[in-house]
Structure 1
Amino acid sequence: MTRTTLKKAQNWYQQQTPPVRRVVIFVGIICLWMLTGIFNFSSDPAPKEPALFKVAAHHSTAKDIEHTLVLRGEIEPDRTANIAAETAGRIAELRLPKGSIVQRGDVLLTLAPDSRIKKVEEARANLAYFEKEFKTAQGLEQKGFQARNALASARADLERARANLADMELDFSNSQIKAPFDGIYEDRFVDVGDSVALGANLVKIIDIDPLVLKGFVPQNAINQVETARPVKGQTLSGTEVEGQIRSLANQADAVTRTYAIEVAVPNPMHLRLAGSSVTMNIPMGLEKAHFISSAFLSLAADGTMGVKGLDAENKVVFYPAEIIRSEAEGVWLAGLPEKATLITVGHGFVSEGQEVDPVFDESAATETSNIDISNTLAQSQKQDSNPSPNPDGTPAATQTE
């Protein structure tokens, strides 16, 4: 453009009114923007289908394992007896210390004899007298010198004397407190010099050979349990015991709907286990089961416990399952197909029927073995959620209306 042309344009612009000048300036700016390419009229790309959610999974095959019914209970003595005074008196002697192993009939403590010995001797003398009286009356009756009713009276006196002697001897015997069975002298509630009334508790004896493991069997397993079946138990301290089922209740508890069970455990060494908590393991036979981490378990909407897996089309399915054995690394589940594809990572973020993108790791059977694959999945999910960059390397702009 020459200077003459610019001069003419300038003169023309100065001759125009202010409104016309503003229009000229606006049109010039618009043309300048269009020439510099500020506006980008490129068409938007076609919408992209959302990526499938990634989960970790592995192919699991059931194995034959020993199905064990696990019960929690407690250990109790086979028998317990609180021995009460059968006669009143004063404690005179303590024969054995608490904790002693006793045999049936061993004297544990005695009451003061007081007049008991004298009463026994008097009763014996009376019995001897009435025995002679009866023999005399019997001889006279045979000779006809005495009426029959006199002989009957002598016989009655003799029987009363015998009964009186038996009472006196029993009262004297009751002054000696004896063990009713073989066991442990567990406790004593009196001391020397104490006066006790009839019926007062004196000592406690327990029989801990055998010990008895007591628990409750759920109603869905009661028909699989039978007496004489071997049982293994373990206390919280780690002591292991073995025994056999000796009794099963025939009627369920009205509240818990469980059946009482007793397991007899020989205890010749008199181990101090009575009163301890115990876990009982009852073998139920071989059963097909899958091993997984307990962290992979899920709950259905109705509260059913199970695990999530995949079908042939990579859609999520829910398998109801039963835990038949627990170990430190995981649990054994029964009730699944013999071969199943189980979700090990991401099961909490998918629902039944949802199609997913599985990443398989055949070594992932426990929670600890899934740490690396969890990190890989997290990075993959993050990449899928980020928009693709522009050709020049800058992030794609988010379009808004």
Structure 2
Amino acid sequence: MKNWILRYRSWLVIGVVLGLLLTWMVSGESVDPPVEDRPPSREVAVGVRISQASTVARSVQVQGQMMPEQQVRVRTKTTGEVVETPGVEGQPVKAGEVIARLDMNDRQARLREARANLQRAESDYRAAQRLAQQGFQGALQAERALADRESARARVRSIELDIEHTRIEAPISGTLNRRLARQGDYVTAGEPVAEIVRNDPLRAEIDIPQHRIGEVSTGMAANVTFVDGTERAGKVTYLSSVADQDTRTFLARVEVPNQDGRLPAGTSATVSIPVETVSAHALSPALVSRNADGQLGVKIAVDGEKGMQAQFITVTPVKATANQIWVEGLPEKVRLITLGQGFVRHGDPVRITDGVTP
């Protein structure tokens, strides 16, 4: 549940803002009462604020999970006791660097024995060849001697590989994130001994809602905001072509450079992908109301034929935070009614109180 809340936090914020708006509207303060229930229009004193539109990016904003570029569990290829663990957890390692060593036990002795057997098999094979060429021994005996020599060679190579596998190396460059086997532990082939993580670049994995998938494509720029407020630029590198059957969303990945390695993986983040720029006004959610048709809008003061009057303009939300909402649909510069908007309706004459207009 916690992960779900973190993943959809941005949508929850917008939902809460709109929910508060609807609650406030239903209370009766921001909904224009029916005309027949209102007294005749008279000039109403209101406070206003001059609002200038600015360019705002309309974005697809979703919650995501930061994932490492690569996460590898290094496993043993042989059996033995861990006798050495070079490297420090949390510190960088390079590909090929030794991160653990296993006890050699009798491997060197078995290798010497195997090499001696190989020398004897090679001598027997050469002798069998000479005898076969001179006609003193059949070709079948020479072939058997050849097989014995190849078997001896394979035995030597097998022990050499086993010895090499006692030296466990990092397969990739990254950070030695965790040790899973320590000095004195006995491990068998296939057991993990360490975990190495490469965090450059990081990948934000996000789910794009199906109704917005047409706005997103690979190569698009993105902005990633981490839980501590850190912001980094990224790029969409992957977009699934099939929606998840349960959520009806499309998996996407945003790559974020992390050369200094300061950004951790595994945290949640807000990913914003700008899809277009629009002219919008930033205002308090409390200034947004709805008309009798249920349309969202704001009330502004305009110059009419008989003086200043209130006007209800429908708007479309572009983005929202807990304290502010950006809307489009208003003229570039307007006088927003900030005080008394609940007491005026569309077309009512208004009087701007002194000292309120910035």
Relative to the length of structure 1, the TM-score reads 0.65
Equivalent-residue separation in structure 2 for 1:280 and 1:267 (angstroms): 16
Please say if 1:255 is aligned against 2:246.
Answer: yes
Q: Deviation of residue 82 (structure 1)?
A: 1.5
Map 1:175-186 to 2 at 5 A: 175-186=166-177
Q: Which amino acid aligns with 1:208?
A: N
Please say if 1:50 is aligned against 2:39.
Answer: yes
Q: Which amino acid aligns with 2:325?
A: V
Equivalent-residue separation in structure 2 for 1:164 and 1:301 (angstroms): 89
Q: Deviations over 1:298-352 (max 9, x none)?
A: 57999x984355899x99978462424x468622224x366799775677799xx
* Larger RCO of the pair (alpha carbons < 8 Å, separation 6+): 2
* CA contact 2:128–2:145 (8 Å) conserved in 1: yes
Greater strand fraction, Structure 1 or Structure 2: 2
Q: Which amino acid aligns with 2:348?
A: D
Look up the match of 2:286. 295
Q: Which amino acid aligns with 1:50?
A: P
CA separation of 1:265 and 1:131: change in aligned 2, threshold 3 A: farther
Look up the match of 1:17. none
Q: Deviation of residue 257 (structure 1)?
A: 1.8
Identify the match of residue 318 of structure 2 among 318, 323, 331: 323
Equivalent residues, number: 313
* CA contact 1:217–1:258 (8 Å) conserved in 2: yes
Please say if 1:165 is aligned against 2:156.
Answer: yes
* CA contact 1:307–1:342 (8 Å) conserved in 2: no
Please say if 1:278 is aligned against 2:269.
Answer: yes
Q: Which amino acid aligns with 1:237?
A: D
CA separation of 1:341 and 1:110: change in aligned 2, threshold 3 A: same
Q: Deviations over 1:194-241 (max 9, x none)?
A: 222333221111011112222222222222222222222222223232
Q: Which amino acid aligns with 1:333?
A: V
Q: Deviations over 1:168-206 (max 9, x none)?
A: 122222222211100111111222112223332211110
Q: Deviations over 1:34-70 (max 9, x none)?
A: xxxxxxxxxxxxxx97345979688978654332332
Equivalent-residue separation in structure 2 for 1:289 and 1:138 (angstroms): 92
Describe the SS at the equivalent of 1:97. coil
Look up the match of 1:382. none
Q: Deviations over 1:14-44 (max 9, x none)?
A: xxxxxxxxxxxxxxxxxxxxxxxxxxxxxxx
* CA contact 2:54–2:279 (8 Å) conserved in 1: yes
Larger Rg: 1
* CA contact 1:297–1:305 (8 Å) conserved in 2: no
CA separation of 1:298 and 1:216: change in aligned 2, threshold 3 A: farther
Gaps of 5+ in 1: 1-47, 364-368, 374-401
CA separation of 1:362 and 1:58: change in aligned 2, threshold 3 A: farther
Please say if 1:146 is aligned against 2:137.
Answer: yes
Describe the SS at the equivalent of 1:129. helix
Between the two proteins, what is the percent identity of the paired residues? 30
Map 1:15-30 to 2 at 5 A: none
Equivalent-residue separation in structure 2 for 1:242 and 1:64 (angstroms): 19
Q: Which deviates further from its counterpart, 121-130 or 203-212?
A: 121-130
Look up the match of 1:307. 297
Equivalent-residue separation in structure 1 for 2:269 and 2:38 (angstroms): 57
Q: Which amino acid aligns with 1:83?
A: V
What is the RMSD of the two structures over their aligned residues, measured on CA atoms?
A: 3.9
Describe the SS at the equivalent of 1:281. strand
Equivalent-residue separation in structure 2 for 1:218 and 1:348 (angstroms): 36
* CA contact 2:310–2:349 (8 Å) conserved in 1: no
Equivalent-residue separation in structure 2 for 1:256 and 1:194 (angstroms): 44
Look up the match of 2:88. 97
* CA contact 1:244–1:263 (8 Å) conserved in 2: yes
Q: Deviation of residue 362 (structure 1)?
A: 12
Q: Deviation of residue 267 (structure 1)?
A: 1.9
Look up the match of 2:327. 333
CA separation of 1:213 and 1:348: change in aligned 2, threshold 3 A: farther
Map 1:216-227 to 2 at 5 A: 216-227=207-218
Equivalent-residue separation in structure 1 for 2:40 and 2:206 (angstroms): 53
Map 1:1-400 to 2 at 5 A: 50-51=39-40, 63-297=54-288, 306-307=296-297, 319=314, 321-324=316-319, 326=320, 330-334=324-328, 336=329, 357=348, 359=350
Describe the SS at the equivalent of 2:238. strand
Equivalent-residue separation in structure 2 for 1:315 and 1:347 (angstroms): 9
Gaps of 5+ in 2: 1-36
